[in-house]
């Protein structure tokens, strides 16, 4: 490891407004090495990659390539220096065919000339990974996600990278294809390429990486050789020290007994998105929904709130099988479901309207009492300590945390029986998080059934009474009580089996 690094980062930070995505990270990529980057959702891995690939620019610190500091204006600047990123969110154009996508970004292509010499090589690469069935004429949008990922990888490899960044690039591939892709990656390494590899799958990292770096909350926690630490030790590094006083105390379920069933689903399925989802939400319980991003958790919530078409299986509310074809039906007091969506800015609130108008919105068209006027909402706003300069101000004048309080209040005023929440604390400051946690626990104690989708392991561990881990559209683990541990959650999230990770 005496070779000088291709790319170095020195004290690099990246901030989005008040949120820090990456804090003073120093990192280097040396030739002929496969370097794996590990961390929870939101640990800063993707930010790191985007900085290297020129998609975003650092707020502070230097990126140094071949010993000289650089500023990337766009991904093409980084590509010119041989830094090629294979993105998690695919960079393929869905309306063009495979050939066009490959040609478009080929190093020799410009506004006029297209470098067709890479096509033969691309075809060869496709065959080497056993994906010769992918036709050059096929429209990319018509390919399966796995095939798209293969095309994305091939697109990166034909650019002759010096630093190859793989950002969750194998998440949709099956094991045989993954193994062949790894052979390609190893071959690149042996040619002197530096490889940076992000994956949530431990066995992939074990099989491929030379060195491993662990990130947590935007900081680089540790860098070590592959094999120096066991699974459990690595997971401990990823999770870090739990912050106990963030969360309200959990009631002892076993002594209190099971609450009355409020909502029950039986084998919910949506053609290729969900399969066999059977959940039971009880009075007084917070049920957690965990797993890696995009495994179908959001779809479950959307299905319960009448946002999905083609839902099979049954949903029973208070013991009665009920059809929920739309949000208007779901919020009806007879059913009483409220949904706090993932993106509060666009889905949860109407930014240009006032706080009060936003609060009154769910009540419109609802039979029975309609919450109206500022006073109706005072109890909720006070409980959440909403800081505002007057309810007539536009909701966009509030900070992110306070906006989330408005979203919560507008639904709570309808006194829902079931509260569905999609990652309600993502990107929110610690104080507001604590307030939301306490509120949720109080609501549960008052009899609301709560289904909490979260990407934060801590919330599953410390807030939820039961945790369902979703992988590939199925619930792969149901954890309760003492079994809700970081190790078990991470293991189930990656579908490696609880025992395997716990005792490795």
Using CB under 8 A, list all residues that contact another protein.
53, 55, 74-76, 79, 85, 87, 89-97, 100-101, 103-105, 109-114, 135, 137-139, 142, 155, 270-271, 273, 299, 302, 307-310, 326, 347
* Angle value at C-alpha 271, between 267 and 273, nearest 5 degrees: 85
Find the shortest distance in angstroms from Cβ 115 to another protein: 9
Q: Which is nearer to another protein, 90 or 491 (CB)?
A: 90
Q: Which is nearer to another protein, 228 or 328 (CB)?
A: 328
Determine how many CB atoms are found less than 10 A away from the CB of residue 108: 12
Find the shortest distance in angstroms from Cβ 221 to another protein: 28
* Angle value at C-alpha 175, between 174 and 181, nearest 5 degrees: 95
The order of strands in the sheet holding 474-480 is 337-340, 418-422, 449-453, 286-290, 466-471, 474-480
Q: Which is nearer to another protein, 196 or 381 (CB)?
A: 196
Q: Rounded to an integer, what distance in angstroms lies between the CA atom of residue 360 and that of residue 164?
A: 51
Report strand pairing: 286-290 vs 449-453.
parallel
The set of long-range contacts for 411-414, using a CB threshold of 8 Å and a minimum separation of 24, is 411/338, 411/339, 411/340, 411/362, 412/338, 412/380, 412/443, 413/359, 413/362, 413/363, 413/371, 413/376, 413/377, 413/380, 414/331, 414/333, 414/336, 414/338, 414/362, 414/363, 414/366, 414/371
Q: Rounded to an integer, what distance in angstroms lies between the CA atom of residue 159 and that of residue 157?
A: 5
Read off the tokens for 42. 């939101």
Q: Which is nearer to another protein, 273 or 286 (CB)?
A: 273
Q: Which is nearer to another protein, 302 or 410 (CB)?
A: 302
Q: Where are the alpha helices (DSSP H) in 87-144?
A: 98-104, 118-128
Q: Rounded to an integer, what distance in angstroms lies between the CA atom of residue 195 and that of residue 13?
A: 22
Q: Rounded to an integer, what distance in angstroms lies between the CA atom of residue 163 and that of residue 160?
A: 9
DSSP-based three-state secondary structure for 147: helix
Q: Which is nearer to another protein, 271 or 442 (CB)?
A: 271
Find the shortest distance in angstroms from Cβ 308 to another protein: 6
Find the shortest distance in angstroms from Cβ 347 to another protein: 7
Q: Which is nearer to another protein, 258 or 347 (CB)?
A: 347
Q: Which is nearer to another protein, 104 or 146 (CB)?
A: 104
Find the shortest distance in angstroms from Cβ 138 to another protein: 6
Left (φ > 0), alpha (ψ -120 to 50) or beta: where does 221 sit?
alpha
Q: Which is nearer to another protein, 274 or 491 (CB)?
A: 274
Find the shortest distance in angstroms from Cβ 159 to another protein: 9
Find the shortest distance in angstroms from Cβ 470 to another protein: 17
Q: Which is nearer to another protein, 91 or 353 (CB)?
A: 91
DSSP secondary structure string, 405-448?
A: HHHHHHHHTT--SEEEEESTTTT--HHHHHHHHHHHHHHHHTT-
Read off the tokens for 239. 């999770």
Please check whether residue 461 is in contact with residue 299, taking contact to mean a CB–CB distance below 8 angstroms.
Answer: no
Q: What's phi and psi for 192, nearest 5 deg?
A: 105, 5
Find the shortest distance in angstroms from Cβ 307 to another protein: 5
Find the shortest distance in angstroms from Cβ 156 to another protein: 10
Q: Which is nearer to another protein, 307 or 463 (CB)?
A: 307
Find the shortest distance in angstroms from Cβ 203 to another protein: 29
Determine how many CB atoms are found less than 10 A away from the CB of residue 410: 26
Find the shortest distance in angstroms from Cβ 335 to another protein: 17
How far apart are the two ends of the chain, measured CA to CA in Å? 29
* Angle value at C-alpha 383, between 381 and 387, nearest 5 degrees: 50
Find the shortest distance in angstroms from Cβ 302 to another protein: 6
Q: Which is nearer to another protein, 140 or 395 (CB)?
A: 140
């Amino acid at each position: 490891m005496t070779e000088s690094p291709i790319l170095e980062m020195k004290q690099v930070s990246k901030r989005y407004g008040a949120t820090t995505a990456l804090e003073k990270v120093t990192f280097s990529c040396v030739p002929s090495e496969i370097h794996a980057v590990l961390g929870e959702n939101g640990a800063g891995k993707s930010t790191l990659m985007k900085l290297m690939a020129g998609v975003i620019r650092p707020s502070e610190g230097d990126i140094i390539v071949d010993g000289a500091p650089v500023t990337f204006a766009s991904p093409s600047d980084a590509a010119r220096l041989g830094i090629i990123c294979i993105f998690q969110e695919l960079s393929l154009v869905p309306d063009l065919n495979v050939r066009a996508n490959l040609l478009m970004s080929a190093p020799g292509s410009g506004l006029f000339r297209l470098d067709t010499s890479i096509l033969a090589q691309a075809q060869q690469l496709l065959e080497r990974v056993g994906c010769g069935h992918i036709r050059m004429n096929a429209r990319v949008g018509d390919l399966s996600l796995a095939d798209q990922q293969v095309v994305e990888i091939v697109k990166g490899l034909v650019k002759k990278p010096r630093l190859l960044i793989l950002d969750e690039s194998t998440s949709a591939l099956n094991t045989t294809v993954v193994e062949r892709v790894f052979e390609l990656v190893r071959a690149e390494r042996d040619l002197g390429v530096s490889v940076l590899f992000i994956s949530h799958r431990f066995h992939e990292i074990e099989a491929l990486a030379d060195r491993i770096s662990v990130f947590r909350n935007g900081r680089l926690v540790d860098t070590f050789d592959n094999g120096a630490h066991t699974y459990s030790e690595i997971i401990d590094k990823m999770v870090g020290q739990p912050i106990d006083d963030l969360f309200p105390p959990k009631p002892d379920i076993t002594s209190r007994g099971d609450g009355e069933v409020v909502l029950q689903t039986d084998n919910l399925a949506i053609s290729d998105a969900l399969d066999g989802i059977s959940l039971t939400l009880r009075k007084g319980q917070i049920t957690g929904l965990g797993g890696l991003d995009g495994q179908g958790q959001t779809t479950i919530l959307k299905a319960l709130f009448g946002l999905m078409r083609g839902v099979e299986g049954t949903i029973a509310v208070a013991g009665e099988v009920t059809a929920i074809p739309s949000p208007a039906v779901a919020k009806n007091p007879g059913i009483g479901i409220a949904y706090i969506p993932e993106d509060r800015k666009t889905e949860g609130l109407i930014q240009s309207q006032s706080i009060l108008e936003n609060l009154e919105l769910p009540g419109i068209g609802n039979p029975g009492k309609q919450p109206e006027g500022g006073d109706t909402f005072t109890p909720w706003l006070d409980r959440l300590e909403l800081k505002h300069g007057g309810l007539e101000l536009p909701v966009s004048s509030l900070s992110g945390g306070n906006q989330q309080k408005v979203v919560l209040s507008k639904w709570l005023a309808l006194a829902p029986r079931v509260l569905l929440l999609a990652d309600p604390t993502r990107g929110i400051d610690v104080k507001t998080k604590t307030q939301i946690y306490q509120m949720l626990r109080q609501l549960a104690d008052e009899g609301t059934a709560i289904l909490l989708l979260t990407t934060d392991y801590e919330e599953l561990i410390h807030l939820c009474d039961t945790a369902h881990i979703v992988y590939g559209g199925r619930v792969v683990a149901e954890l309760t009580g003492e079994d809700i541990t970081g190790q078990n959650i991470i293991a189930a999230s990656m579908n490696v089996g609880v025992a395997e990770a716990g005792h490795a």
